[in-house]
């Protein structure tokens, strides 16, 4: 009976160890897959928060770190990375909520001009909460209105700059709160419509804000002995005044040129478009790229943002 119990206990331990090893291997494989081309048809293997973006580029992720420490008052960057967009689908844009503990952190910087701008000819339109963001939920969306420049592969969707406010540990996570979707929504352009690409894994991160070393005050300075005033001496004779200096002649036209005065606070500033001599500047230069836009993508952007404003 004792042997049976021991064998059963030993088998449970072995099963637990094997399960843990399998989990670690699977996790490592997911992160290691960033450096090879291995898309899953019709879906995205992983979207994650990388707390060490050193070496990351718009279309390359060195590795994914999920923890970070920073001093209170310090700032640091984290990347939202994706592995990977199937070339048969291509990414048109995204909707995303970035969650953090507002008692410990605030968002002081944001960039969307990374993977979405990587392909030549991109016409990016993005919307995001104002900075600094302090409510614990930073919403952003972005879309490439030129469907012919949609991106694929791995890369960095967006980059956040965070500031530590006080000691503590905050989790970082992603979702699409408006639609109660536990994952961000990434849209594809290959079908001719704005469809959602399914995401298999959505991995968050954690950040620890730590107090800096306290400053030890130095020793107090002991005041020296007071100085006893001496006896007044015999006043020395006053010196003979020298000749007064001859004033320099005034040079005509040498007055200083005043600096131009800027507009008053609250005033308006007029901007003018100038060109080199012989060049013509058309006031409708921005219309030409719009001729190549996808009407479906443009309508989608307007409808989605109007819906969010109505709900807010």
Q: What is the mean pLDDT of residues 209-228?
A: 59
More confident call, 217 vs 154: 154
What pLDDT was estimated at residue 218? 53
- Reply yes or no on whether the pLDDT at 307 is more than 90: no
Query: What pLDDT does 194 receive?
Result: 76
Identify the residue with better confidence: 204 or 6: 204
Going by the DSSP 8-state scheme, the letter that residue 151 receives in this structure is B
- Rounded CA-CA distance 151/60 in Å is 13
Q: What is the pLDDT of residue 147?
A: 84
In this predicted model, what pLDDT tens digit does every residue of 45-68 receive, in sequence order?
999 999 999 999 999 999 999 999
| 308 to 73, 130, 142, 179, 187: CA distances (angstroms) | 33, 15, 14, 10, 17
Percent of the chain at pLDDT exceeding 90: 47
3-state secondary structure of 115: helix
In three-state secondary structure terms, 28 is helix
pLDDT digits (tens, 9 = 90+) for 149-194: 889 999 999 999 999 999 999 999 999 999 999 999 999 977 667 7
For CA atoms 294, 299, 300, 305, give the dihedral sign.
positive
Higher per-residue pLDDT: 224 or 95? 95
Please return the burial class of 6, using the count of CB atoms within 10 Å of its CB with bins 0-12, 13-18 and 19+: exposed
Residue 285 has a pLDDT of 33
Say whether pLDDT at 219 is over 70. no
Burial class (CB in 10 A: 0-12, 13-18, 19+), 63: middle
Q: How many residues appear in the chain?
A: 312
Nearest partner of 207 among 82, 29, 55, 52, judged by Cα:
52
Kind and range of the H or E run holding 27: helix 2-32
pTM over cut 0.75 = no
| Confidence check: pLDDT of 32 > 60 | no
pLDDT value at position 258? Answer: 42
CA distance 143 to 91: 9
Q: What does pLDDT average to over the chain?
A: 73
Question: What pLDDT score does 148 carry?
Answer: 85
Report the DSSP pairing between strands 105-111 and 153-164.
antiparallel
**Whose CA is closest to 197, among 210, 184, 209?**
184
Q: What is the pLDDT of residues 238-290, one digit of tens each?
A: 445 545 444 444 434 444 444 344 434 333 333 333 334 444 333 333 333 33
């Amino acid at each position: 009976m004792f042997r049976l119990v021991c064998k059963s206990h030993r088998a449970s331990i072995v099963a637990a160890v094997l399960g843990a090893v399998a989990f670690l291997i699977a996790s490592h494989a997911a992160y290691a897959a960033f450096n090879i081309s291995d898309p899953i048809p019709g879906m995205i293997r992983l979207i994650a928060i990388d707390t060490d973006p050193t070496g990351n580029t718009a279309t390359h992720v060195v590795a994914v770190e999920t923890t970070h420490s920073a001093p209170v008052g310090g700032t640091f960057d984290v990347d939202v990375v994706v592995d990977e967009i199937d070339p048969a689908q291509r990414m048109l844009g995204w909707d995303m909520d970035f969650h953090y503990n507002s008692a410990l952190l605030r968002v002081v910087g944001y960039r969307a001009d990374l993977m979405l701008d990587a392909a030549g000819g991109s016409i990016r339109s993005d919307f995001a909460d104002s900075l600094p963001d302090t409510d614990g939920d930073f919403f952003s969306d972005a879309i490439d209105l030129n469907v012919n420049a949609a991106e694929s592969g791995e890369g960095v969707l967006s980059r956040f700059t965070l500031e530590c406010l006080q000691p503590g540990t905050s989790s970082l996570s992603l979702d699409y709160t408006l639609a109660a979707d536990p994952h961000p929504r990434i849209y594809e352009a290959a079908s001719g419509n704005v469809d959602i690409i399914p995401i298999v894994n959505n991995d968050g991160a954690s950040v620890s804000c730590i107090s800096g070393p306290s400053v030890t005050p130095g020793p107090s300075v002991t005041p020296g002995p007071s100085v006893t005033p001496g006896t007044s001496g015999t006043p020395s004779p006053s010196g003979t005044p020298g000749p007064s200096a001859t004033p320099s002649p005034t040079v005509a036209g040498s007055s200083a040129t005043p600096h131009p005065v800027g507009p008053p606070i609250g005033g308006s500033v007029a901007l003018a478009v100038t060109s080199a001599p012989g060049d013509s500047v058309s006031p409708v230069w921005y219309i030409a790229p719009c001729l190549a836009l996808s009407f479906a993508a443009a309508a989608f952007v307007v409808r989605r943002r109007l819906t969010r404003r109505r709900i807010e």
